């Protein structure tokens, strides 16, 4: 299995892409740390993972990724409890509507704190643990960071400026991160999903006209399942992608090309 003896931390792990990724990594041998704000959701995912394992493979850590104090506590927890970290999946995020001439500073700050600043802080605080581990094992173990961006980082919508700019920032930040961590043998890539069946899109996709519009604009003619994005994240995180770093994987069903 691709993630035997690996410790992986996944944010936004209570549902959607985060949950699907956590299940996938755990099924491939990783010890997964599930991070999110709602303990009940995380515990439900952990139970789903652990009930099929002889040895529990999932643990829960509640945190708000917008809170620097929570991120520092999370880094301290990982270092004290595990002493190492091999994979980070920065999946937590959320939408934010607004035009440039109308959006409030509060909406702008919320989008960038949640979608971009959190990625920076987690990569900084937990990246140090990964670097220390890489120095100990002299780069013999696979270490990888995957940041979840968005199609919106490529194709900005006039109604979603705070969101689209924050996700474009994730793509750019990941390239800089890859360059900085490459000497330590740690890879960093991002993934940009299009429309996926998640709690974030659930409301819109319940509108039949909106759903039909999405399907019409997507070359493959459908919305993605969370597991399809998790497959791509797992590949990027695995040693199979050992020569990929600083890359964004656009997985939008062909929206951008149509």
- Which of the residues are catalytic? 163
The pair of structure tokens assigned to 135 is 């120095």
DSSP code per residue over 96-108: --B-TTT--HHHH
Closest CA to 233 of 49, 5, 84, 32: 32
The pair of structure tokens assigned to 102 is 């109308």
Closest CA to 49 of 75, 28, 70: 28
Q: What are phi and psi of 112, to 5 degrees?
A: -75, -35
The pair of structure tokens assigned to 123 is 């990569």
Distance CA 7, CA 16 (A): 21
DSSP code per residue over 108-126: HHHHHIIIIIHHHHHHHHH
Distance CA 131, CA 229 (A): 27
The pair of structure tokens assigned to 85 is 């970290």
Could you tell me how far CA 2 lies from the centroid of its own chain? Answer: 19
Number of residues that make up the chain: 258
The pair of structure tokens assigned to 132 is 């220390």
């Amino acid at each position: 299995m691709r993630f035997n003896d690996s410790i992986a931390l996944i944010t936004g792990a209570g549902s959607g892409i985060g949950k699907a990724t956590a299940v996938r990594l755990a099924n491939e041998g990783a010890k997964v740390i599930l991070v999110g704000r709602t303990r009940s959701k995380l515990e439900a995912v952990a139970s789903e993972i652990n009930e099929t394992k002889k040895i529990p493979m999932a643990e829960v850590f509640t945190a708000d990724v917008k809170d620097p104090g929570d991120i520092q506590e999370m880094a301290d927890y990982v270092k004290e409890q595990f002493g190492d970290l091999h994979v980070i999946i920065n999946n937590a995020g959320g939408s934010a509507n607004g035009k440039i001439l109308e959006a409030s500073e509060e909406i702008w700050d919320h989008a960038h704190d949640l979608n971009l600043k959190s990625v920076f802080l987690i990569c900084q605080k937990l990246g140090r643990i990964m670097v220390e581990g890489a120095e100990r094992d002299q780069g013999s173990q696979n270490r990888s960071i995957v940041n979840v961006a968005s199609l919106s980082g490529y194709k900005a919508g006039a109604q979603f400026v705070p969101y689209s700019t924050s996700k474009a920032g994730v793509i750019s930040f990941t390239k800089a991160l890859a360059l900085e961590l490459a000497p330590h043998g740690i890879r960093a890539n991002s993934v940009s999903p299009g429309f996926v069946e998640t709690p974030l899109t659930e409301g819109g996709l319940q509108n039949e006209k909106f759903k039909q519009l999405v399907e019409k604009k997507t070359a493959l003619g459908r919305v993605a399942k969370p597991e399809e994005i998790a497959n791509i994240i797992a590949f990027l995180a695995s040693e199979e992608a050992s020569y990929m770093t600083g890359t964004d994987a656009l997985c939008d069903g062909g929206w951008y090309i149509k």
